Amino acid sequence: MPPPPNTPDEGLTEVAYRAPEDDELFRVPSPHPSIAMAEASPNGSCVIKLDYQAIEYVDPVDETLLCPVCKTPFHSPITTPCGHTFCAACINRALETQPTCPIDRQPISRTLDYRRLPLIVKDQLDRLKVKCPNKGCDHQCPREHLEGHYERRCEFSLVRCPDSGCNQLIARRDASPAKGCLHVEVVCEYCDTKTTFAELDGHHNFECDGVLIECPDCRRDVVRHALVEHRTQECLEGQAQCKWHKAGCKVADRRRVVQEHEQSGECSFEVVGRLIEKQAEDRKIINELSERLARVETSQARRRERRMTQLLGRGSFPPMASSSRGVSTSNIPDATLNNNRSLSLDSVDDGATGGSPEDYMLAQFERLETQLELLRKQSLDMDARQSHLILQHATHFSEQLAEIGNKVGIVNMHMSWLMSLQRQQRAGSAAGSSSNAAMSQGSGGSSVRPASSDDSGLQYAGNNRRHSEGRGESLHRL
Amino acid sequence: MSVPFAAKRLGKELNKISSSLPPGIELVSADNFEEWLLDIKVLDNNPLYQNQTYRLKFRFSPSYPIEPPEVVFIQLPDRPIPIHPHIYSNGIICLDLLGQQGWSPVQNVESVCMSLQSMLTGNSKNERPPGDEEFVRANTMRPKDIQFYYHDNDV
């Protein structure tokens, strides 16, 4: 059945066609149940597709995860070329009337490929906790699992009536060929409304007014079917016992009083009650453990027995094996509590009657152990080698450092020698200018210069000494 | 099961509006998902609109928010039609946001109310649109079918 022209569906199929690898992303629940019905297979799968916009979320959802068009958390979201994200269905509807981005009005053409949303956002959406949209079902699950629950498992999902002549829908739990078609018209016994047998329950629980009955205790209206449950569990005016009555608490009054009593913490039996509860839990665990121990012991005993028989002569005592199996079942009288484990144990044992899997396991185990030992040795070796390397490098570095220290000392020495030379020159020129030009320049120059050079030579020697001291010092410091 | 798109979206909006609305905007009635009534006030002391409350009527088509809602002012004894060069005296509003072109599905009732508030706040001309009387007398069209010419970008 092709959708009529100018419906959002047309746009959707177009997009899906252009991005065939994305069919998961662009698959949108059909808004028309009739179309969905036509596609539904007869094998009891739900015929009305899950409507993502009608789902109720358990916790408030962050606003950044809401589609700006439908204001519900994104469903199969896509991102436009301008970077805005919408549900695939919403953006396609919007583009039907106006080919621009609803947020910034940038032109978008549907022929363009939309960008995928980062997977992290998809994960965030998948994890949102939702409630099953079916009336009467209180199932809650992450959103990614809802479709499976709704379409295949939920007992309240509508499926086709098992009667092939009937075109109506019925809740899955009522759809069994044994029950036949339940779309028989009945009249509600409380409010005289006409309804079908299939919908009677839902009518009673959600619609019918006449079905209400006043609770004799709290005077509130309660659905007639739920009255007993209400009186024993909810009714605040009904009689109730303190929940620690097993521990000896004698309080029994109206539920309101009892609840106050329980919550105020004044019940002195609470401690004892909790202790008893804890003890019961512990007892349960102990029982389970002892059972398991017994089972392990018997299986071990059997294994030992089997090995003995194998040693004595392979397969020469077939009756032994069968008898051991008989023992095993008699040794586990209460196999119902831990059925799975005992079953798996038995199956392993049965498989091991040949003996080879066991030996194989042992051999494997030994092999792994030797490998482990080898690895341990190798890692120790590596450790030693590494520390040795580090040590070597360290000594190398310290040597280099000492050398650098030396060089710095030499440069230092040169510097001070140059400085003193300059100082002397400056002092000499000042003295020359003050003592006037009595001396001839040539003789003065020749007499002074050698002296100064001698001086500097001496100083150099001195500096050299100092420098060697400095080096010693630097070495020491190193 | 197949609730129309508009109803779902309006349900969400109603939830939000019932819990909180910006100052100067009040929900009067929203009994169905076809027609809502809201009151708006101009908050600053613009002498044209001081101490006045105006009644807005929103009408939603089944394809809201893809299509814009039809928004008009309605007249009641204590709810006049505000005087504004883009508001006709029969309550029809000439605002590009409410037209097919200016509308965007991202808009909502609250944002439309706020736009109208600011449209009133920013106005200083005490006049009706040109040709108001003639338009009011002759007009039989629904607001969404009128081809407005959005010429004035100042207000």
CB B61 within 8 A of CB B48: no
**Residue A467 burial (CB < 10 Å; 0-12/13-18/19+)?**
buried
The percent of residues above 90 in pLDDT, for chain A, comes to 18
Calpha distance A146→A46 (Å, rounded):
13
Q: Do B106 and A32 touch (CB under 8 A)?
A: no
- Which residues neighbour A400 within 8 Å (Cβ) at sequence distance 6 or greater? none
Which residue type occupies A427? A
* A97 touching chain B per CB within 8 A: yes
Q: Please, what is the average pLDDT of chain A?
A: 73
Any idea which of A79-88, A335-344, A359-368 has the lowest mean pLDDT? A335-344
Whose CA is closest to A70, among B1, B105, B104, B3?
B105
Residues of A in Cβ contact (< 8 Å) with B9: 69-71
Q: Which residue has the tokens 């040794």?
A: A331
Q: Which residue has the tokens 């020469």?
A: A316
Q: Which long-range contacts (CB under 8 A, 24 or more apart) does A107-113 make?
A: A108/A80, A108/A81, A108/A82, A110/A11, A110/A14, A110/A15, A111/A18, A112/A81, A113/A18, A113/A19
Nearest CA distance, A208 vs chain B (angstrom): 19
Whether residue A328 has pLDDT greater than 70:
no
| More confidently predicted of B65 and A185 | B65
* B1 touching chain A per CB within 8 A: yes
Torsion angle of the four alpha carbons A141, A144, A145, A146, in this order, in degrees rounded to the nearest 10:
70
pLDDT tens digits along B89-148: 888 998 888 888 888 889 999 999 999 999 999 888 888 888 888 888 877 777 666 666
Looking at residue A407, its pLDDT comes to: 94
Query: What average pLDDT does the segment A185-203 reach?
Result: 73
Looking at residue B45, its pLDDT comes to: 83
- Residue A218: pLDDT band by 50, 70, 90 thresholds? confident
Structure tokens at A19: 């991005």
Q: How many other β-carbons are positioned within 10 Å of the β-carbon of residue B121? A: 14
Q: Which of A166-170, A400-404, B41-45 has the highest mean pLDDT?
A: A400-404
Calpha distance B112→B103 (Å, rounded):
10
Calpha distance A348→A358 (Å, rounded):
10
Measured between its terminal Cα atoms, the distance across chain A in Å is: 91
Helix (H) or strand (E) holding B73: strand B70-74
- Which residues neighbour B15 within 8 Å (Cβ) at sequence distance 6 or greater? none
Nearest CA distance, A28 vs chain B (angstrom): 14
Which DSSP category does A64 fall into?
G
* B65 touching chain A per CB within 8 A: yes
Nearest CA in chain B to A105: B104
Which phi and psi angles does A75 have, rounded to 5°?
A: -125, 130
Q: How many other β-carbons are positioned within 10 Å of the β-carbon of residue A168? A: 14
Q: Which of A31, A68, A71 sits opposite B2 (nearest CB)?
A: A31
Residues of B in Cβ contact (< 8 Å) with A98: 100-101, 103-104
Q: Which long-range contacts (CB under 8 A, 24 or more apart) does B73-80 make?
A: B74/B37, B78/B53, B79/B39, B79/B53, B79/B54, B79/B55, B80/B52, B80/B54
Query: What average pLDDT does the segment A76-91 reach?
Result: 86
* Per-residue b or e along A10-19, where b marks 16 or more CB atoms closer than 10 Å to that residue's CB: ebbeebbeee
Structure tokens at A105: 């009005």
Whether residue A37 has pLDDT greater than 50:
no
Calpha distance A98→A106 (Å, rounded):
11
Q: Which of B14, B67, B97, B106 to mutate to test the interface with A (most CBs of A within 10 A)?
A: B106
Q: Do A69 and B100 touch (CB under 8 A)?
A: no
- Residue A100: pLDDT band by 50, 70, 90 thresholds? confident
Any idea which of A54-58, A176-180, A438-442, B25-29 has the lowest mean pLDDT? A438-442
